[in-house]
Amino acid sequence: RIDELLAEVGSFSSAEKDVIEQFRIKYSGKKGILNDLFHKFKEVPNDQKKEFGQKINTLKQAVATKLEDLKNAATTNISVEKDDLTKPAFPLELGTRHPINLVRNRIVEIFKSIGFAVADGPEIEDDWHNFSALNMPEYHPARDMQDTFFIEQNPDVLLRTHTSSVQIRYMEQNDPPIRILAPGRVFRNEAISSRSHCIFHQIEGLYIDKNVSFADLKQTLQFFTSELFGKSKIRLRPSYFPFTEPSAEVDVYWGLNSETDYRITKGTGWLEIMGCGMVDPAVLKNVNIDPDQYSGYAFGMGIERIVMLLYQMGDIRMFFENDKRMLEQFKSL
Ligand code: PHE
């Protein structure tokens, strides 16, 4: 019987780990054949002990040698693969960063380099932080500018319609000087089209200190746009926001001095990129900052819009479709 086992061990061969492991357990496991035979050895009559013992030892040796050989074969195979550096890797595809995140990171880096810190706030907001504290009391007509998704009413719980809510939260918690950037998702109950979506991303900026002026705001934005777009100039057009006074819309003229610049293809070349203004004293009062001592500016931009300008994309819906053909085009960035 041991001879049969010996033959089986001799002819065993497999490259599969599982099968080899089963083989090992079958012979050398705790309840394996070898242990079983050693137990039986005790009951063998004395005159047969010598022969039986030798056979068991031969079998044990054969099993050990076989396992050793199989192990060597396996590692030889692996080391051949390891050494071949020209061999293509597994076909594991590397993902790409989403263009929204790429551009958000870039914008954050630019403002970090001039001392802005990153802040955030909740996407589900209350009326105070999204509207009232921003100088939009109940029945203020400006509330209609932003179609709101309400979660609950009286008291209102809603999806924030802009990142300006983070201004309020930050100023409630921190004393000036304040210099923050707040990127995040915002939500508006708007019809979805190539130009607008019910979810998009904004980046809010806020700077509060002594003697902050409109000129500081313009300088900062000029610095920002030339960092992001390269050679460019900006203009500020008068506008209206309840929480800033005066308020302005920022246009960038991009591709200056270059008639062949493919990025400017239509219109006058002026492209609107954000809203901004000096923080309204009423807002400062709402967060217990003394408007006689402090002043500041705020700005807010839509990230999708900027990505679309930078990369010539024509449809905002693409950002949420996760079409790999679109995403892969950002691989090298
Ligand atoms: N919150 C404004 C919007 O969503 C943008 C803005 C931010 C304007 C800060 C002025 C100052 O349209």
**Which atom of ligand 1 sits closest to the CA of residue 164?**
1
Q: How far is the CA of 275 from the centre of ligand 1 (A)?
A: 5
Nearest residue by C-alpha to atom 2 in ligand 1: 300
**Sorting pLDDT into bands at 50, 70 and 90, what band is 88?**
confident
Q: Give the mean pLDDT of 220-241.
A: 92
Q: Is 132 exposed, middle or buried (0-12, 13-18, 19+ CB in 10 A)?
A: middle
* Cis check: omega of the bond before 88, within 30 degrees of 0: no
Pick the atom of ligand 1 nearest to 167's CA. Answer: 9
Give residue 143's pLDDT: 74
Residue 268's pLDDT is 55
Query: What ligand 1 atom has the least distance to the C-alpha of 206?
Result: 9
Q: Is 241 in the pocket of ligand 1 (CB under 6 A)?
A: yes
Closest to 174 (Cα-Cα) out of 254, 117, 230? 117
Q: Which helix (H) or strand (E) element contains residue 263?
A: none
Q: What is the pLDDT of residues 93-118, one digit of tens each?
A: 778 899 999 999 999 999 999 999 99
pLDDT, one tens digit per residue, over 145-172 is 668 999 998 888 999 999 999 999 999 9
Question: What is residue 262's predicted lDDT score, i.e. its pLDDT?
Answer: 45
221 Cα–ligand 1 center, Å = 14
Is any ligand 1 atom within 6 A of the Cβ of residue 298? yes
Is the C-beta atom of 184 inside 6 A of ligand 1? Answer: no
Assess whether the C-beta atom of 167 lies below 6 angstroms from ligand 1.
no
Binding site residue list: 245
Question: Among 134, 162, 186, 212, which residue has the most ligand 1 atoms within 8 Å of its CB, making it the best to mutate?
Answer: 162
Give the CB-side neighbour count of residue 56, counting CA atoms within 13 A: 19
Q: Is the pLDDT of residue 256 over 90?
A: no
CA of 302 to the centre of ligand 1 (A): 9
% of the chain beyond a pLDDT of 90? 51
Residue 2 has pLDDT above 70, yes or no: yes
Q: How confident is the model at residue 81 (pLDDT cuts 50, 70, 90)?
A: low
User: d(Cα 282, Cα 288) in Å, to the nearest integer?
Assistant: 10
pLDDT at 311: 86
Beta strands in the chain (DSSP E): 117-118, 124-126, 150-152, 157-159, 178-187, 199-209, 232-241, 244-254, 270-279, 295-302
- pTM score: 0.71
Whole-Å CA distances, 303 to 43, 203, 271, 300? 84, 7, 14, 10
Q: Is 277 in the pocket of ligand 1 (CB under 6 A)?
A: yes
Is pLDDT of 232 > 90? no
Average of pLDDT values for 176-192? 95
Q: To test the ligand 1 pocket, which listed residue (188, 241, 244) has its Cβ within 8 A of the most ligand atoms?
A: 241
